[in-house]
Amino acid sequence: MAESLRIDVKQDDDNGSEKADGFNQKVSSLERIFLIANFILELPSAAFDQLSSVHKPQYALLSMLISFTVLIISIVDLLLRGRKERLTWMRRGLIPWFYYPYPNSKPFGTFPDIIGLACAFLQCIFAAISYAFLYQHADSPIRVSVWPIVFAFGLLYSRISGSTTQKMPNPHARKLNRAEEFTLAQLAAATNDFSLQNKIGVSPRFCTVYLGKLPGGSEVAVKRLDTGHQRKKSEEEDSVFENEITFLSRLHHKHLVRLVGYCEEEKEMILVYEYLENGSLHDRLHQRNTAKINSWKMRLKIALDAARGIEYLHNYAVPPIIHGNIKSSNILLDANWTARVCDFGMSALNPESESNYKPKKAEGTVGYIDPEFYGTNVLTAKGDVYSLGVVLLELLTGKTDMFKDEDNGGAITNIADFAVPKILANELAKVLDQRISRPEFDKEAEAVELVAYTALHCLNLQGNNRPNMTNVVANLEQASSLCDDHTKDHRHRAGTEQLHGGSEEIEPNSNVKEKYLSEISLRQQ
């Protein structure tokens, strides 16, 4: 069972903010049209004497009804503005629902709102009085009927002037549930003024990562947009920064990197994460290899941790999130070698739950990108599954996503093109990482084969034929369980060998492939 925690997301994201702006603009336009119509309809009331005696009461009744309608609109609008600044909508599945994205610092509305409400109220009173005079065929209602015009104009002016001066909150500055807003001075002090000694890495999109220490003593990773590119801050970089804040600030899970805070000051865009001292999976596999990671049990554990983090995004975040950039360098390892998924700069809401999903251009690392994405430009959950399949091959083979194949004349080879044919030809042993001893016992060999065939299925060229993350997690949990059983059996065998002398090698189970593929076919039916 995946270790997941459901958290309802109530804050808007980039697409939600765009929806909010469009929705409120339409509402404001309709309100203005109605107020203008209300004012125009009041104009002839100043010339009631020119109307026939038959039409005077009818027109006065229409004027009164319009006035009361405007009053109701003003009251409802003031109540909504008093509770939250904007009312907008979002679509989840086929059901649209309303929510309030931003809080309002003035619980009773602005001054123009209150003036507009007063004008609407007074307009109703005098429109009703005018109707009463005309209904009773009074000789001279002109003095009373002029006042609705005055108050209709006051209402129109106050509403239009109030809406034009109103400013929407900066989305970067809105209050976040779990992220702290740092000043540039605070982060400079934490990183020794962003010194080279504190530099621990460089990430894509012109970002440098520094090790920082907060006043409380906790260590953090500070990701800063490089100084040389600050003056040319592009919309893409701004979108990446906003994505990280929007998604990570509202998500909390054991296998997702936690966002501590952020800084947006002057031309700086800085993100602050919890520091994971064992670095990225990519570095540990391909650069800083250690004995700790050179066991099948540990590698399968890392694979399961990462899969659980992705499964949470797909199935338990509300609304569902697609990571969009799964790769070994975006899987970090903490002090206990627990894997956590990071870098949400390319993430998006699941297009199945978003009504106005916008296609994206192909980004990310070539070896990990879903082949279908080049044709559709749409991020899908099955794209994350494909990328995880590449990571699984990295864990099995110890090779990077693109590497020089010495057996092929040093040609640059895609890891999937290298490993998939051999695994299908029952030559798994030829692709396994030579730094780890070959699985010697039945259960460990079965676990490794199960991971290999899970990776194959994740790498299917057609997304519909790939498993979902729940199935992937189930397979990796089974493989991890087999490794745990192998460890217990190994300890038992070691004791038996000491008593009887000698050992016996058990051949790997040759039926794992057929068993796994049959299970997959049953799941898809």
Structural domains of the chain, ranges and CATH numbers in brackets: 7-169 (no CATH), 180-274 (3.30.200.20), 283-524 (1.10.510.10)
Q: What is the pLDDT of residue 390?
A: 97
Amino acid code (one letter) for 474: A
Q: What is the pLDDT of residue 305?
A: 97
Is the pLDDT at 253 greater than 50? The verdict is yes
Q: Which two tokens stand for residue 299?
A: 């590698």
Lowest mean pLDDT among 129-143, 254-268, 278-292: 129-143
Q: What is the pLDDT of residue 231?
A: 45
Q: What is the pLDDT of residue 74?
A: 65
The pLDDT tens digits of the residues spanning 475-520 come to 999 999 998 765 655 555 544 444 444 433 334 444 555 555 554 4
Is the pLDDT at 214 greater than 70? The verdict is yes
Q: What is the pLDDT of residue 509?
A: 46
Q: What is the pLDDT of residue 389?
A: 97
Q: What is the pLDDT of residue 296?
A: 93
CB atoms within 10 A of CB 242: 19
Q: What is the pLDDT of residue 138?
A: 54
Q: Of the spans 49-63, 316-330, 362-376, which averages the highest pLDDT?
A: 316-330
Amino acid code (one letter) for 107: P
Residue scoring higher pLDDT (309 or 85): 309
- Collapsing DSSP to helix, strand or coil, 87 comes out as coil
Q: What is the pLDDT of residue 78?
A: 59
Alpha-carbon distance 219 to 209, whole Å? 13
Phi, psi of 210 (to 5 degrees): -120, 150
Lowest mean pLDDT among 146-155, 395-404, 406-415, 473-482: 146-155
Q: What is the pLDDT of residue 109?
A: 45
User: CA 212, 215, 220 angle in degrees (round to 5)?
Assistant: 25
Which run of H or of E encompasses 30?
Answer: helix 14-42
Alpha-carbon distance 397 to 322, whole Å? 27
Q: Which two tokens stand for residue 137?
A: 């065929």
Q: What is the DSSP string of 55-84?
A: HHHHHHHHHHHHHHHHHHHHHHHHHHHHHB
pTM: 0.62
Contact (CB, 8 A) for 56 and 134: yes
Alpha-carbon distance 468 to 324, whole Å? 15
Is the pLDDT at 97 greater than 90? The verdict is no
Give residue 354's region: left, alpha or beta (phi > 0; psi -120 to 50).
Answer: beta
- Collapsing DSSP to helix, strand or coil, 7 comes out as strand
Long-range contacts, stretch 356-360, CB < 8 angstroms, 24+ apart = 356/15, 356/18, 356/19, 357/15, 358/15, 360/324
- Collapsing DSSP to helix, strand or coil, 177 comes out as coil
Tell me how far the alpha carbon of residue 266 is from its chain's centroid.
26
Q: What is the pLDDT of residue 364?
A: 63
Alpha-carbon distance 338 to 336, whole Å? 5
Is the pLDDT at 298 greater than 90? The verdict is yes
Contact (CB, 8 A) for 104 and 82: yes
Q: What is the pLDDT of residue 519?
A: 47
User: What's the mean pLDDT when you consider all of the chain?
Assistant: 72
Q: What is the pLDDT of residue 373?
A: 86
- Tell me what the mean pLDDT of segment 77-97 comes to: 46
- Tell me what the mean pLDDT of segment 62-78 comes to: 67
Residue scoring higher pLDDT (418 or 244): 418
Alpha-carbon distance 210 to 200, whole Å? 5
Contact (CB, 8 A) for 300 and 381: no
The pLDDT tens digits of the residues spanning 178-213 come to 578 899 999 999 999 999 999 988 766 668 899 999
Alpha-carbon distance 198 to 186, whole Å? 15
Lowest mean pLDDT among 2-6, 59-63, 202-206: 2-6
Is the pLDDT at 473 greater than 90? The verdict is yes
Is the pLDDT at 417 greater than 60? The verdict is yes
- Tell me what the mean pLDDT of segment 71-82 comes to: 63
Tell me how far the alpha carbon of residue 288 is from its chain's centroid.
31
Q: How many helices (H) and strands (E) does the chain have?
A: 14, 16
Q: What is the pLDDT of residue 95?
A: 41
Q: What is the pLDDT of residue 500?
A: 43
